[in-house]
A and B are shown apart, each in its own frame.
Chain A
């Protein structure tokens, strides 16, 4: 565990309700200085609420928010030195790009020359040269996003909060902006929290991921930890586009399991082969019927029905093609298995286990 006093920002037992609805339930986490952390969870899980409480736009009902060793619960938003990038950017419509970025400096009584220097520095940083005189409605989505980013950074905040910074941007630009943001934040070295409901984004960009669900924190860890070792049923079902299975013990290779176990299986752990293919773990391969084949560019996404369940697997595009309706061999390498509200275990197919023990 991280030592308590090393955390730059810390939330302790935070609760928050909107009238009768409890949006945050006993939230606890700490973030070290200079880290980029993702708040990942489904829509309505309370991500924005957490961000707004840290910024001071919303008051927690109970609990403490500590920034840099100080409890900030009673410090107003304007004095928390927090930069905030809103989900829809909230650029000042009636101000130019320059004035948007300069606003925070003006209200903090910087002198003109310093403002000019700082703004042009930021314009350079986010690569918006030549657009200073434009109004927000004359910019593309990506450009707006960068203005919002520059505007939030202008007064040198200690902490940067970003609410779904890429939500309003199309897929291709989004990919670029992700790595751009990662780079920018490294360059500036600012502690940052960003909200997303896109797990690929969180995995790719963040140092650490906090998974939220129904107002609670489910799991905190590095992207690798979260992805490879989900600790709760929710995280297991949320990460990696898995298929949920309620009768795992009827699958070959997992027959030793208690029938009351639930399980999820991720597509990358399912191998699909033609009947004529020779495969390594022939013994516990299942037979299934292909219902759907989707072309995904570098690979094929294949949906097979086994024991009444539609399971997703992948196959490389250059392999011999598989058609819909075809009988295939399906081998499941591993499953994430759990009881209702219990710990998640990773169970490897029996054949592999047997083989490994033979080797040992």
Chain B
């Protein structure tokens, strides 16, 4: 590990810079969120987060996150499988498209859906006739969240599947195993940790999504307000304690996920060794 023995002072300078940077950029703001949330006492915090609309926002966020996760996990596995296991025309295009949400601004994602499903769209009369509301309703929020987070799972799995190769699967097939058995017995153990890791990243991102959701939600209090949207609403209304109280909950959820993440990472590493 000793790449350069004489770099003692350099090492400490770099560590110092990192520490200062992290403190200013991350720790101070987080601490500030918590301080502001509890500034007027635990009681005020309690009322703020048990407010009817706050509770609804929390539940909506959880609901959207869970639906998104289910969809993106299934989609992610399928997409990764297709890309690594089959040769077909247009594979490069699909592989590039999967990354699109990472490069396109979420606001644009939101607008795309408004154009696709909104009043001016050709689909609108049909959707209306069968009674499906997408814009300014929960399905729109789910759609936007799925769009923004769908690369996470497949991007985690693809490198693992590529590295694994197809030999073990072929060996299993030659012994008479069917497609599902091969996936469950041979492929899944390989991608297990990467998949969980992808799910964790995906849920963290899904909970916090603001831009795309903001365009599609219509900000109906108690109906289509997710936590980030609700926080903004409170903030705009100068209810700082409320805004920071709900923020504190969101931060807490993120921290739980971070801890999960590092636990998973450790466990995955152990298994690889």
Are A and B physically bound partners? yes
List the interface of chain A (C-beta within 8 A of B): 55-57, 77-80, 82-84, 86, 88, 90-95, 103-104, 107-108, 151, 154-155
Cross-interface CB contact of B174 among A55, A91, A93, A94, cutoff 8 Å: A55
Given A93-B190, A107-B181, verify A78-B174 contact (CB < 8 Å): yes
Q: Tell me the complex Cα distance, A108–B181, Å.
A: 11
Task: Tell me whether B131 is interfacial, beta carbon within 8 Å.
Answer: no
A155 & B171 in contact (Cβ 8 Å cutoff): no
Given A57-B174, A77-B174, verify A93-B185 contact (CB < 8 Å): no
Q: Tell me the complex Cα distance, A155–B170, Å.
A: 16
B185 & A88 in contact (Cβ 8 Å cutoff): no
- Residues in A with CB closer than 8 Å to B177 are 78, 103, 107
B172 & A84 in contact (Cβ 8 Å cutoff): no
Task: Tell me whether B237 is interfacial, beta carbon within 8 Å.
Answer: no
Given A86-B167, A103-B185, A107-B181, verify A92-B172 contact (CB < 8 Å): yes
- Residues in A with CB closer than 8 Å to B8 are none
Task: Tell me whether B90 is interfacial, beta carbon within 8 Å.
Answer: no
B186 & A78 in contact (Cβ 8 Å cutoff): no
Shortest distance between the CB of B160 and any CB in chain A (Å): 12
A155 & B176 in contact (Cβ 8 Å cutoff): yes
Task: Tell me whether B39 is interfacial, beta carbon within 8 Å.
Answer: no
List the interface of chain B (C-beta within 8 A of A): 167-168, 170-178, 181, 185-186, 189-190
A107 & B174 in contact (Cβ 8 Å cutoff): no
Cross-interface CB contact of A90 among B170, B176, B178, B189, cutoff 8 Å: B170
- Residues in A with CB closer than 8 Å to B173 are 57, 77-78
Q: Tell me the complex Cα distance, A349–B178, Å.
A: 63
- Residues in B with CB closer than 8 Å to A155 are 175-176
A79 & B168 in contact (Cβ 8 Å cutoff): no
Closest chain A residue, CB of each to CB of B179:
A78
Closest chain A residue, CB of each to CB of B189:
A94
Q: Tell me the complex Cα distance, A79–B176, Å.
A: 6
Closest chain B residue, CB of each to CB of A83:
B174
Shortest distance between the CB of A79 and any CB in chain B (Å): 7
- Residues in B with CB closer than 8 Å to A79 are 176
Known: A78-B174, A91-B168, A92-B185; 9 extra A-B contacts, CB below 8 A, are A57-B170, A79-B176, A83-B174, A88-B167, A90-B170, A93-B168, A94-B186, A104-B175, A107-B178
Shortest distance between the CB of B163 and any CB in chain A (Å): 11
Shortest distance between the CB of B168 and any CB in chain A (Å): 5
B167 & A103 in contact (Cβ 8 Å cutoff): no
Interface centre among B175, B181, B186 (most CB of A within 10 A): B175
Shortest distance between the CB of A82 and any CB in chain B (Å): 6
Closest chain B residue, CB of each to CB of A55:
B174
Cross-interface CB contact of B172 among A93, A103, A154, cutoff 8 Å: A103
B171 & A94 in contact (Cβ 8 Å cutoff): no
Q: Tell me the complex Cα distance, A6–B246, Å.
A: 81
Interface centre among A78, A86, A88 (most CB of B within 10 A): A78
- Residues in B with CB closer than 8 Å to A83 are 174
Q: Tell me the complex Cα distance, A103–B185, Å.
A: 9
Q: Tell me the complex Cα distance, A92–B174, Å.
A: 13
B175 & A107 in contact (Cβ 8 Å cutoff): yes
A sample of 26 inter-chain contacts (CB < 8 A) reads: A55-B174, A56-B174, A57-B174, A78-B173, A78-B175, A78-B177, A78-B178, A80-B174, A82-B174, A83-B174, A84-B174, A90-B171, A92-B172, A93-B189, A94-B186, A95-B185, A103-B172, A103-B177, A104-B175, A104-B176, A107-B176, A107-B178, A151-B171, A151-B175, A154-B175, A155-B176
A94 & B190 in contact (Cβ 8 Å cutoff): yes
- Residues in A with CB closer than 8 Å to B172 are 92, 103, 107
Q: Tell me the complex Cα distance, A70–B174, Å.
A: 18
- Residues in A with CB closer than 8 Å to B170 are 57, 77, 84, 86, 90
- Residues in A with CB closer than 8 Å to B167 are 86, 88, 90
Shortest distance between the CB of A43 and any CB in chain B (Å): 19
Q: Tell me the complex Cα distance, A88–B167, Å.
A: 9
- Residues in A with CB closer than 8 Å to B189 are 93-94
- Those 4 A-B pairs whose CB atoms lie nearest each other, nearest first: A104-B175, A90-B167, A94-B189, A107-B177
Closest chain B residue, CB of each to CB of A105:
B175
- Residues in B with CB closer than 8 Å to A88 are 167
Shortest distance between the CB of A9 and any CB in chain B (Å): 16
Shortest distance between the CB of B65 and any CB in chain A (Å): 30
Q: Tell me the complex Cα distance, A39–B175, Å.
A: 23
Shortest distance between the CB of A161 and any CB in chain B (Å): 9
